[in-house]
């Protein structure tokens, strides 16, 4: 899909927000929701989305919404650093299909980086059904939640 277009209210993240699809929640506040990526590139890979803005990408989101998301991204990156002790943390965001965007609801990836490579973005998992092991995602979410520092 192109970088331009109308917001699709049937995208997977909109369905997660309406609780029509499950997610392994890590953090939620008034404006943002963070959950484990079911196709993780690395152990502890999370996604952060805005709960109220119907923005497809960075070009669509309001400056206020962007500030709210980035505040949550920083909080979660700090928690992942404490809980998982990665060698580094990648913060990334894609705009349009040619740039790698696969879900057209603005979102930011928090990817703990360990020595060695990353799995490709948006690729199938290793357990046969294409998704990460839900028990492992729950365990990682619990570890990260326990390291969240309140403001």
Catalytic residue among 45, 105, 107, 109: 107
Told to judge if 107 belongs to the known catalytic residues of this protein, a careful annotator would answer: yes
- Phi-psi label, residue 85: left if phi above 0, alpha if psi -120 to 50, beta otherwise: left
Q: Reading across the β-sheet that carries 46-50, which strands appear in turn?
A: 25-28, 32-36, 46-50, 107-113, 88-92
Measure the N-to-C terminal CA separation of the chain; round to a whole number of Å: 38
Q: Give the residue numbers marked as catalytic.
A: 107
């Amino acid at each position: 899909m192109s970088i331009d277009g109308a917001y699709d209210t049937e995208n997977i993240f909109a369905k997660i927000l309406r609780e029509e699809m499950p997610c392994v929640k890590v953090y939620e506040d008034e404006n943002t929701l963070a959950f484990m990526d079911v196709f993780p590139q690395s152990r502890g890979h999370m996604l952060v989305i805005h709960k109220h803005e119907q923005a497809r990408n960075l070009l669509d989101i309001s400056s206020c919404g962007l500030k709210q998301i980035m505040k949550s991204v920083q909080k979660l990156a700090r928690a992942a650093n404490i809980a998982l002790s990665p060698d580094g943390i990648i913060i990334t965001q894609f705009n349009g299909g040619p740039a790698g965007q696969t879900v057209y609801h603005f979102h930011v990836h928090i990817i703990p980086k360990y020595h060695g490579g990353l799995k490709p973005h948006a690729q199938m998992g290793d357990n046969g059904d294409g998704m990460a092991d839900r028990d492992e995602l729950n365990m990682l979410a619990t570890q990260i939640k326990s390291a969240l520092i309140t403001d």
